[in-house]
Amino acid sequence: MRGDLPLSVTQVYCWAYAEDSNDRAPEVFPPKLGSEGLKQTVERLQQMGTRVVSYVNAFFWDSDTESYYIENAEQGAVRLETGEVQFMGYSGQRIATMCPGPALWRDKLTEVCKELVGRYRVDGIYLDFLTVHGMDCFNPEHGHPLGGGNYWTKSVRELYGHIRHELKQINPEVILTGERTAEYVIDLLDAPLSQETVGATPMFQAVYHGYALAYGGQTNNSEPHSLGRWWLMGNQNGWNQTEPGLAKALNGDPEYQDRVQHAQYYVKLLRCHYHFGQPYLAYGEMLRPPRIDGDLPTVTGQTGYGSYTVPVVEGSARRAPDGSVGVFFLNYDKEQSHEFSWTVDLREGAGWGRHTRLKLCQWTEERGLEYVEEVPGGRLTRRATIEPWGLIALRIEVIK
Ligand SMILES: [Zn+2]
């Protein structure tokens, strides 16, 4: 990351000996860099100010590993209604999917995670697959109801709870995260990888913003209506797979010069979040979004859950723990500036009626936070012009 922006968390992939993270899972040791090499690399990253979170495949046991036979992996595998083990064919491997119910898989996965946190001193674990890839397991030896029912979510909860408990004994500050957002493990994962779940209706962010620090953007998309909308909805940016290309663009790599504006936009969002927006966008209470009026075109985005069409100017409002309200607007239009008016109901959002004296400040990257004007509470309407790729960040607070 550049200059004034700190590294915060780095999710590390492909550290295991195998070329592909599915190959040989869960036999991930020795690490590709060797035992000492991985330890030193983790330490070096931590000295740079980042917390290292290791990728762990939480669902697969590759059938061409010795341990698959020696440790009787099939006893813990998901079985289909026909009684056969369910295999998947990722990366050309023949991989058994593991049931979270029995102790066999719970203990194996816990052993891998403990080795990473204990020996290699990583700060956290990312558990792939398990949260969202619910299966109907028909293995009669597992002690859970066969087929449907709630055993999958119950088992995953117990599995995550067990791993969390064991890892906390080694490092009380350990981070546990996993693929996708899910209500049923919200208390067991410190931050869920939300990926595409903002889209048309950011339901998870709207309902659970007070309980979960969702992170991650739309895979392979760095357009303003993707990076920007995810940011605006309080999703922590990062993990959209475009970052390496954007970093190369900023570092002058001639192959990535068509990405420079996208990279600058990304940095602008991160900078605003870090220097001003965090108490609102990360830790604030989501308020009703500002009403926006104007002659605004729309833009259509696509996620794995379908398409969404939104006006090119969108806004959000949040109340920070200190009681102040942050109001944010983005212009996803890359060519045109737009004029619009916005309205927020401060009585509804913050309990500030029209006799409450408030001050409105604006944060900009160039000048930081500056006083704009005194405003009344109640319904507040203002006009604004927002430039292409634009960002407006406002703070409203009571005059004491
Ligand atoms: Zn089972």
Structure tokens at 82: 């026909």
342, pLDDT greater than 70: yes
Tell me, yes or no, whether 228 and 340 share the same domain. Answer: no
CATH of the domain at 233: 3.20.20.70
Listed residues 243, 278, 313: the one ending a domain: 278
Q: What is the pLDDT of residues 125-140, one digit of tens each?
A: 999 999 998 889 999 9
95 occurs within a structural domain: yes
Mean pLDDT across 350-355: 96
User: How remote is the CA of residue 153 from the centroid of ligand 1, in Å?
Assistant: 12
Using the mean position of ligand 1's atoms as its centre, give its distance from the Cα of residue 22 in Å.
Answer: 21
- What's the gap in Å between 152 CA and the centre of ligand 1? 8
Encoded tokens for 348: 């509804």
Q: Are residues 174 and 252 in the same domain?
A: yes
237 and 290 housed in the same domain: no
CA of 59 to the centre of ligand 1 (A): 12
| Higher pLDDT pick, 237 / 27 | 27
> End-to-end CA distance of the chain, in Å?
38
* Residue 28: inside a domain: yes
Ligand 1 midpoint to CA 66 (Å): 22
Residue 115: burial class (beta carbons within 10 Å; 0-12, 13-18, 19+): middle
Contact 182, 131 (CB under 8 A): yes
> pLDDT band for position 3 (50/70/90)?
low
Q: How far is the CA of 146 from the centre of ligand 1 (A)?
A: 8
Q: Is the pLDDT of residue 1 over 50?
A: no
For range 296-316, the mean pLDDT: 94
Residue 21 belongs to domain spanning: 9-278
| Together in a domain, 114 and 151 | yes
How many whole angstroms from 183 Cα to the centroid of ligand 1?
22
pTM of the entire predicted model: 0.92
116-175 confidence digits (pLDDT tens): 999 999 999 999 999 998 889 999 999 999 988 899 999 999 999 999 999 999 999 999
Integer Cα distance of 83 and 100 in angstroms: 17
262 close to 240: Cβ distance less than 8 angstroms:
no
Q: Do 149 and 23 belong together in one domain?
A: yes
Strand partners, 69: none
* Pairing status of strand 338-345 against strand 325-331: unpaired
Whether 4 maps to a domain, the answer reads no
Same domain flag for 224 and 188: yes
166 and 242 share one domain = yes
DSSP output for 41-69: HHHHHHHTT-EEEEEEESSEEETTSHHHH
Distance 147 CA to ligand 1 centre (A): 9
Mean of all residue pLDDT scores within the chain: 94
**Mean pLDDT confidence for 79-105:** 93
What values do phi and psi take at 266, rounded to 5?
A: -60, -45
Residue 179 CA to residue 134 CA, distance in Å, equals 12
265-290 pLDDT per residue, tens? 999 999 999 999 999 999 999 999 99
pLDDT class of 90 with cuts at 50, 70, 90? confident
Residue 2 lies in a domain: no
Q: Is the pLDDT of residue 2 over 60?
A: no
53 lies in the same domain as 177: yes
**How far, in Å, is the centroid of ligand 1 from the Cα of 256?**
47
78 C-alpha to ligand 1 centroid (Å): 5
Whether 289 and 274 map to the same domain: the answer is no
> Of residues 42 and 203, which shows the higher confidence score?
42
> Same domain for 266 and 242?
yes
Q: Are residues 201 and 73 in the same domain?
A: yes
Q: How far apart are CA 177 and CA 191, in angstroms?
A: 5
* pLDDT (0 to 100) of residue 84: 96
Q: Where do the H-state alpha helices sit in the chain?
A: 34-47, 66-70, 103-118, 151-170, 203-208, 224-232, 243-250, 260-272, 278-281, 346-350
- Expressed in angstroms and rounded, the spacing between residue 360 Cα and the centre of ligand 1 is 57
The pLDDT value given to residue 4: 76
Encode pLDDT of 56-74 as tens digits. Answer: 999 999 999 999 999 999 9
Asked, for residue 3, whether it belongs to a domain, the answer is no
129, part of any domain: yes
Instruction: State in Å: Cα 63 to ligand 1 middle.
Output: 18
Residues 262, 294 within the same domain: no
The count of domains in the chain is 2
Ligand 1 centroid – CA 90 distance (Å): 21
**Cα gap 34→15, rounded to integer Å:** 10
CA distance 272 to 227: 13
Residue 82 lies in a domain: yes
Q: For position 92, what pLDDT does the model report?
A: 80
Q: Which of 224, 243, 278 finishes a domain? A: 278
CA 233–ligand 1 middle distance (angstroms)? 37
Kindly list the strands in the beta sheet with 357-364, ordered across the sheet, starting from the edge strand earlier in the chain: 285-286, 313-319, 325-331, 391-398, 357-364, 368-376
58 Cα–ligand 1 center, Å: 15
Ligand 1 centroid–CA 94 distance in Å is 19
Looking up residue 351, the CATH number of its domain turns out to be 2.60.40.1180
Residue where a domain terminates, one of 278, 313, 328: 278
**Within-domain flag for 1:** no
Exposure letters 183-216 (e unless 16+ CB within 10 A, then b)? eebeebbbbbbbbbbbbeebebbeebbeebbbbb
Which of 32-36, 234-238, 326-330, 363-367 is predicted least confidently? 234-238
How far, in Å, from the CA of 104 to the mean position of ligand 1? 11
